[in-house]
Structure 1
Amino acid sequence: MIVKLAVASVKHRLGSFVGTLLTAFLAVALIAGSGLLLWSVLTAGPGSDRFGGADAVVAGHRSITLTTEEDKGDKVKVKTKDERLTGAEPLPSAVVETVAGTPGVTTAIADYAFPVALDLGGEPLRAPDATTVAHGWASAEVTPYPLSDGAAPRPGEVVVQGGFGVRVGQTVRVTSRSGVRELRVSGVVGGDVPGQAAVFVADSQVAEVSGLTGPTAVVVRGSEAGLTALRDRLGATATVHTGADKVTADLPGAVPDYIGAISIFGFVLGITGFAAVFVLTGTVSLAVRQRLRELAMLRTAGATPRQLRGMLRLEITLVTLVAAVPALPIGIVVAELVAARFRELGAVPPQFTVSLNVPVLIASVLAGLLVTVSATGIAARRATRIAPTQALRETVTAGHIGWVPRVVAAVVLAGGAAAVLTLVPLGGQFGMGMGFVSCSLLLCAVAALGPIAVGALTAVVSRLGAVTGVLGRLAGAMTRAESRRVVGVAIPLTLMFAINATMLLNGDILTKVTADQQAARTATATVRVAATNAPGLPLTTAAEVASLSEVTGSAATVGTRVVVDEGGKPEDYAAQGLRTTGEQALDLGVTAGELPLQDGTVAVSGPLAEARGWKMGDRPVFWLADGTRADLTVVGVYANWRGFGDLVLPAGLVAAHDPRGLVGALYLRGPADLAEKVGERWPTLAATGAADPKAGTADVQNQQAAWELMVVISLGFTAIAVVNTFAIATGARRREFADLRLAGATARQLHRMLGRETFITVIVALVLGCLISGAVVGTFSVAQDGQWRLFAEPVRYLALIAGVGLLGLVAGAVPARLVIKRRSLPALNG
């Protein structure tokens, strides 16, 4: 009976279920899309194996692994953590000899892998969506690059992959950390390894071009017994990779890294999941509350509260399942579009693709069902407990929760938000994510307070509307009397503003702080020199430029990554190698100690020094890009680290152990015409007349672009939910409008009254949203540089307020026009 009643109710009341259907559709689609993205990065493999034709590959460590033991009294808990390196540790020649001399090994070829940059006549050569990696020619024999034209390279020559579009006989310029060379193209190879573009130099010249002290891997062919013997002979000296594990022996920079993508898409899922739960719960609860008269009639006819709750749950289940049918394919489309945009931004590897997974899609539907059914169950429990006679008097407050539980819940949630904002380092790498968490907790606190918080604000704002006349006073009285209805409409609008303002404004502040610190760092420089056709210039070239007689001071920076031991957990940090001469050309804002650096020393950022408790003279342990351990003495602490790095090491040390090892920027001090003199002497270098304050902020700008994409997704979802909520709330007032029309009110008067009610609701929502986002954004700003800001760009902030406010006004006006669209009175029993 209940099943038939539920099906009939949905069939004959389709209009009233449209709002819930649309909200469920959007929620399932977004959860499915973000779930597929996270699943795809979690299960993404390292890509195609360049060593696919080999039986095994011998390589050094590709990650730093730390093991800690914690005595629990009755047992010792062992934890092992590892962090992937960005470079490849060169193997000593003894390892190559050991491999070649192992019984059962038939082939042992030393493989050199190192990144290079190519240009032809000053025009950079790049293969689409690929990292350019050079090797010795011997590697071509055991990797998928058959020679398709020309001949093997001799000294002074190079073989390139066909994707570069160059021909045999042309001369290309090759830039590596050891210098810049012009090499003749002797041949072209075919083959394709996604994400890698291959270049081969003569074996006799590979050490000179790469700057490596030994090969990065040894490619092995042999019997199974030979591989077993090889493992025994090498022991812990090197690792023998076989099967699918062979790809991990390649150069780390040439193998896709999905660690950052996991964080990004995990956060996307968190945002969409939170918004979906918040909006779905509010929409479903509001829809149930609007059916009090219908439920009361069923109670009067003999239905029990349990039967009514079962009917409502079955109705919402049917609606959610129907919504899920089109939502799943739309979710797949959303995932593809987001993945494409993130590939453009460089936030994910170019090889990243979305993997379809049926369990993930089913889980997204189940998640939507869980939220809608749970919300219906909570709302129905209150609605069905009300006495039929009370509901027939059109009381829309289906039971009340006492103010004590609401206040307790709000205090707990607000306390959690305060703990996050005060105890968690918002200035660290997880600051943006923690800002979202604190904002979500504050939103839940406001939602828990519900009528208390909204009612207090409404009482103030509604009385301001009295200055507009009789309709303003009536609208104010209506909003004060029906505070629960205002809550149902205002909270989604508050969610829309607070969440998106927090993400957008925090990103703006981070971009501004980074740009300000970059400007402060480069304020003393006269010229910034960078390579025009390569990602950097060799240290030797930078030294030649800095040796110009007109140069009075220089600072060369070499970007890298360094692993730090954080209490048994290896953590990866951005760092810079620094070489300075003469007058200060780069101001890091040293707050303790001094620069320049000497061999065996390091300078650290203020936040990192504080977090690790490092002081002058301490000797912490670091691992460089290729896994080399370095015990360095702390000699300085600096403040201008945004967009630069948390560690500063000697440039020579970085260049020797980072596979790229190129100077990203060279800052010079000298006369006003210094840029012209550098340009005349080195026409392949770009010398700007002043230091570029935006240099070094590219990563932050890409991150901001990624945040803006998430804001667009969140805005779209919450905007439709806001319109939907307004429509449900307005549609439920048909009888009220009919009564007012019967009392003599005109349609125009009703529109004006509703307009004032909507205005009051929008103001209340924006005030709450500003308070929530202001608390989070202001605290986030202080954590970055000690300055309190509500926003970084006033126009952007005001535009967000105006946009959300306008949406709220339109969302309130349009349903009113549709409901009050006829001069004739609607039937009072309709």
Structure 2
Amino acid sequence: MLRLTLQGMRARWVTFTGSFVALALGVGLIAATGLALAATFEAPHRGPERFAAAPVVVRASDTLRVSTPIGDRTRRLAEPRAVPDGLAAELARLGRTVEDRTFPVSFADASSGGGATDRADGAADGDGAVGHPWSVAAATPYRLTGGRAPATSDEIVVAEAPRAEERADGGVEVGDRVRVVTPDGADDRTVVGTVGATDFENAVFFTDAEAAQLSPRISALVVHADATAVRKAVRATADDAQDDDAAADARSGFEVLTGDERRRADPDPDRDSEALVAVNALLGTAAGITCFVSVFVVASTFAFAVAQRRREFGLLRTAGATPRQLRRTVFAEAVLVAVPASATGCLLGVLGAPRIAAWLVGNGVAPSWFAIGDQTWPLHTAFWTGLCVAMAGVLTSSWRAGRIKPTEALREAAVDSRAMPPSRRLLGALVLLAGLGLLVWSLANDPGEALKRKTYLTRPMLLIVGFALYAPVLVPPLVRLVTWLPARLPGATGLLARANAATGVRRTAAVAAPVLITVALAASLLGTTATINEAKATEAATQTSADYVVAVPGEDGALPAAFVTRARSIPGTAVSASRSTAVTALEEDVALVTSEARAVDPADLAAVSRLPVASGRVADLDDGGIVVNEEWRERTVGQRVRVWLGDGREATLRIVAVLRTGTGDNGVYVTPRNAPGATVDRVDIKLRDGADAAAVDAALHEAGRATGTTVLTKDAWLERSHPRSSESTRLGMLLILGIALLYTGIALVNTLVMATSDRVGDLAVLRLTGTTKPQVLRLVTAEALLVVAVGSLLGAAVAGLNLLGLRGALALLSVRSPLVVPWGSLGSMVAASAVLAVVAAVLPALAALRTRPVEVAGTRE
């Protein structure tokens, strides 16, 4: 039997080569994405960076810790408290102390006489910088690389740009006069020194007095004293103030950091782990989709390879082979192909994983230090997955091959008369019902789930499998639909293409499978993300009735107080200044859930917004109240909820209104008193009836120029804050779709080569009936285009169901937004599939036509 197996493999080397290529590439993709995913499980350990030279650092804890029946639960605070002046004075008795203050800084373009508003993109040079007093530099890695320390209030020291091209493009040098935007406004300052750049922050140093003026709160305290004495002083200060709530917070809310613990005082000490969380989510999704695509294509290819050999199996049955012998032969062939193919795939994965990591780093998706580790479990997983999938791919087909009766063999091999057995119908129905059932279930119970990435990235998979299983039933009517007009045109090409595709249902379904998955994935993922982005922008536009929105780009920062003051003084305007904060609630006494929130004046908010209120009144918001959304467990108006505010203080607030969930951006609202550490980061301005629009516009832009603040109209703000697709989302989709679609494209070519090479005899018969070579090539081309059209229609059906489900979810969430279909991207992918299909079909046909038809026909006989 082994000898017969090897002889069969040698005789049908094209088929087995195609199976080998499909499996090797599939295993390679699984191994590469698995290795990249494994590298995200552990971030490198870093020592202290910002306070590397500080003996002891004292700061308020930035962690909320709540005791629950199952242990302590923690969350990071949105607004960590400052170090009290009294504690700073007490610690100064133990030794020399240095007060560190941290506040946002940016550079406006002063050369043109304007502020940040002169920038076309609405952002100022130096965005993301932070200010510090110069005295704290001695406790940090910063050392002068040029110039001197600041001595007067209008002098600063800046960090050098890390690369020479950045310095030449937009950096500053010693002696430059620049316009610096701080929480107090914009002022011209002189750069008197530079320090080396770091990768954890972009620092700007001021004199100690100027820093204290700009930011009175003490962020951290460097203490040159014994750590034990410092800890005793901190505890004593807290214990002495028994009549003050702040003292109770201080008793459990301060950290004395030494040694490696000083890293906790670094800016965003968990940034490495947090960066890997995003990369892990991206690669996890890519690995899941890659695994699905690989399994789908490999199983389809192996099943098709077995189905191609029905004539051969029929002849073996006629010669006396038993069904068991046929099954053993098929499985032996699968093992002989799968083992070396899986091993080759693992080698390809080892070679490809570093390239994926380099692409992620080069495009800013992963941190610069990200690299593939020495994990081996992804290779084991990929190898055994490939082997198991190959076995599964031939299981059903081998069973059917063994059931062929000798007297039916040749007739069975001629036409696909029974391409859909009952078992496949049942399995396809179950898969389709599962996919549609999950969609209906989510719409009925949690429509917001449809907008989450894990849902809309994975839901199409069940529908793709279901449609692929039912392809033998769906192909004939689709073929008749697509060829209705071509079959009626003069000439036999359209009619022959229709007949060949309809009679070779298995071949048509196998070739259409890669096109199905290409169109379904691309349309579902690109269409869903574009629709969600459009829905978010539409929702934001609906909820904002302001004519101007001035907001700090990014997550951190503050608007200059001078701008807020000047904006409020402009006649004919309604102004709402709000702050970003957070509110944490304990759900079911076991889980801390943090919600993004805004601190607002309710009267001002009502003048510039139209919030989607489900119950209650936002106007009833006061210092003892809170506005929540429908995602909260407690959402009954009048109900009191226990929460922890952004600075960690516990409070019991009354629910005054409940907002609809929407796309997920409808957060929580409190008053400014319940967000004492938050700074104004957004101002909404609305023209009152009868106001002079031109005068208001001129006054606002004058205030922006004077304070270095970007002033945007509502439309410009929406375009900037709600782009059609963020860069991270675009790159993530590019990675996911790029890997999947590259493989499906190769699989399409591979399957077509297998299918066309198996039709050498059919092409010879056409030549013997008088068909010319150009006519044969036109027929092959028409059949390839027909199969691409069938696969595209099946993929479009899958994508349509997904997008309609998304549209239903948005409607249930009370968000009115149109579906966005990426017609351009889909057209390009279908066109690329058509080109690949034609090339993959025509080239083997050209090779086949080199042989004389009589010789091929004689061989067949």
1:731-754 superposed Cα distances (whole Å, 9 cap, x missing partner) = 222223333434444444444544
1:138-170 superposed Cα distances (whole Å, 9 cap, x missing partner) = 432322123444554456254332338544555
Contact 2:334 2:391 in 1 (8 A): no
The residue that corresponds to 1:483 in the other structure is 505
Matched, 1:657 2:677: yes
Matched, 1:140 2:156: no
1:188-207 superposed Cα distances (whole Å, 9 cap, x missing partner) = 333x4323222334445544
Choose which of 370, 385, 396 in structure 2 pairs with 1:353: 370
CA distance in 2 between partners of 1:66 and 1:780 (Å): 38
CA distance in 1 between partners of 2:838 and 2:804 (Å): 34
Choose which of 434, 437, 453 in structure 2 pairs with 1:418: 437
Cα drift, residue 242 of structure 1: 5.8
Choose which of 598, 606, 609 in structure 2 pairs with 1:586: 609
Contact 1:289 1:398 in 2 (8 A): no
CA distance in 2 between partners of 1:117 and 1:48 (Å): 28
The residue that corresponds to 2:285 in the other structure is 267
The residue that corresponds to 1:714 in the other structure is 740
CA distance in 1 between partners of 2:553 and 2:466 (Å): 53
What is the aligned-residue RMSD (CA, Å)?
4.4
Choose which of 667, 683, 686 in structure 2 pairs with 1:646: 667
What is the 5 A alignment of 1:603-752? 603-604=627-628, 608-638=629-659, 645-650=666-671, 653-654=674-675, 656-658=676-678, 661-669=679-687, 670-673=691-694, 674-683=696-705, 684-688=708-712, 691-692=715-716, 693-698=718-723, 701-702=726-727, 704-706=729-731, 708-709=733-734, 710-752=736-778
Cα drift, residue 814 of structure 1: 2.6
Secondary structure of the residue aligned to 1:538 is: coil
The residue that corresponds to 1:247 in the other structure is 263
1:336-384 superposed Cα distances (whole Å, 9 cap, x missing partner) = 213432x2xxx65x54623343426624642663455334552664366
Secondary structure of the residue aligned to 1:200 is: strand
Q: Percent identity?
A: 24
1:119-155 superposed Cα distances (whole Å, 9 cap, x missing partner) = 4636879999995233344432322123444554456
Which moves more between the two structures, 326-335 or 460-469? 460-469
What is the 5 A alignment of 1:210-359? 210-212=215-217, 214-216=218-220, 236-239=252-255, 245-252=261-268, 255-256=271-272, 257-258=274-275, 259-292=277-310, 305-341=327-363, 343=364, 351=368, 353-359=370-376
Cα drift, residue 434 of structure 1: 0.7
CA distance in 1 between partners of 2:224 and 2:29 (Å): 47
Matched, 1:555 2:554: no
The residue that corresponds to 1:813 in the other structure is 838
The residue that corresponds to 1:362 in the other structure is 379
Secondary structure of the residue aligned to 1:264 is: helix
Which moves more between the two structures, 694-703 or 672-681? 694-703
Gaps of at least 5 residues in structure 1 are 70-77
Q: Does the C-alpha gap of structure 1 residues 377 and 790 become closer, same or farther in structure 2, counting only changes over 3 Å?
A: farther
1:290-313 superposed Cα distances (whole Å, 9 cap, x missing partner) = 344566778869766435422321
The residue that corresponds to 2:856 in the other structure is 827
Gaps of at least 5 residues in structure 2 are 162-166, 239-250
The residue that corresponds to 1:74 in the other structure is none
CA distance in 2 between partners of 1:231 and 1:453 (Å): 75
The residue that corresponds to 1:602 in the other structure is 626
Q: Does the C-alpha gap of structure 1 residues 90 and 278 become closer, same or farther in structure 2, counting only changes over 3 Å?
A: farther
The residue that corresponds to 2:470 in the other structure is 449
Contact 1:32 1:360 in 2 (8 A): no
1:29-73 superposed Cα distances (whole Å, 9 cap, x missing partner) = 44344334433433224756313445665544444455654xxxx
What is the 5 A alignment of 1:72-151? 78=70, 82-92=74-84, 110-119=99-108, 121=110, 131-151=128-148
Paired residue type of 2:429 = A
Q: Does the C-alpha gap of structure 1 residues 273 and 355 become closer, same or farther in structure 2, counting only changes over 3 Å?
A: same
Choose which of 768, 786, 810 in structure 2 pairs with 1:784: 810
The residue that corresponds to 1:73 in the other structure is none
1:300-332 superposed Cα distances (whole Å, 9 cap, x missing partner) = 697664354223212222133234434532332
Paired residue type of 2:566 = V
Contact 2:104 2:557 in 1 (8 A): no
Paired residue type of 1:306 = R
The residue that corresponds to 1:188 in the other structure is 194
Cα drift, residue 687 of structure 1: 3.6
The residue that corresponds to 2:245 in the other structure is none
Paired residue type of 2:623 = D
Contact 2:361 2:368 in 1 (8 A): no
The residue that corresponds to 2:204 in the other structure is 199
The residue that corresponds to 1:545 in the other structure is 566
CA distance in 2 between partners of 1:293 and 1:217 (Å): 84
Paired residue type of 1:657 = G
Contact 1:90 1:217 in 2 (8 A): no
The residue that corresponds to 1:162 in the other structure is 160
Q: Does the C-alpha gap of structure 1 residues 731 and 465 become closer, same or farther in structure 2, counting only changes over 3 Å?
A: same
Secondary structure of the residue aligned to 1:35 is: helix
The residue that corresponds to 1:72 in the other structure is none
Q: Does the C-alpha gap of structure 1 residues 377 and 473 become closer, same or farther in structure 2, counting only changes over 3 Å?
A: closer
1:689-708 superposed Cα distances (whole Å, 9 cap, x missing partner) = 66434242149533542354
CA distance in 2 between partners of 1:193 and 1:160 (Å): 12
Paired residue type of 2:677 = H
Task: Provide TM-score, normalisation by structure 2.
Answer: 0.79
CA distance in 1 between partners of 2:630 and 2:554 (Å): 37
Secondary structure of the residue aligned to 2:376 is: helix
Contact 2:109 2:124 in 1 (8 A): no
CA distance in 1 between partners of 2:96 and 2:409 (Å): 86
Q: Does the C-alpha gap of structure 1 residues 207 and 626 become closer, same or farther in structure 2, counting only changes over 3 Å?
A: farther
CA distance in 1 between partners of 2:128 and 2:592 (Å): 26
1:663-713 superposed Cα distances (whole Å, 9 cap, x missing partner) = 244423142211122233542444446643424214953354235413344
Q: Does the C-alpha gap of structure 1 residues 682 and 134 become closer, same or farther in structure 2, counting only changes over 3 Å?
A: closer
Q: Does the C-alpha gap of structure 1 residues 58 and 148 become closer, same or farther in structure 2, counting only changes over 3 Å?
A: same
Contact 1:110 1:139 in 2 (8 A): yes
Q: Does the C-alpha gap of structure 1 residues 265 and 322 become closer, same or farther in structure 2, counting only changes over 3 Å?
A: closer
What is the 5 A alignment of 1:511-522? 511-522=533-544
Q: Does the C-alpha gap of structure 1 residues 680 and 609 become closer, same or farther in structure 2, counting only changes over 3 Å?
A: same
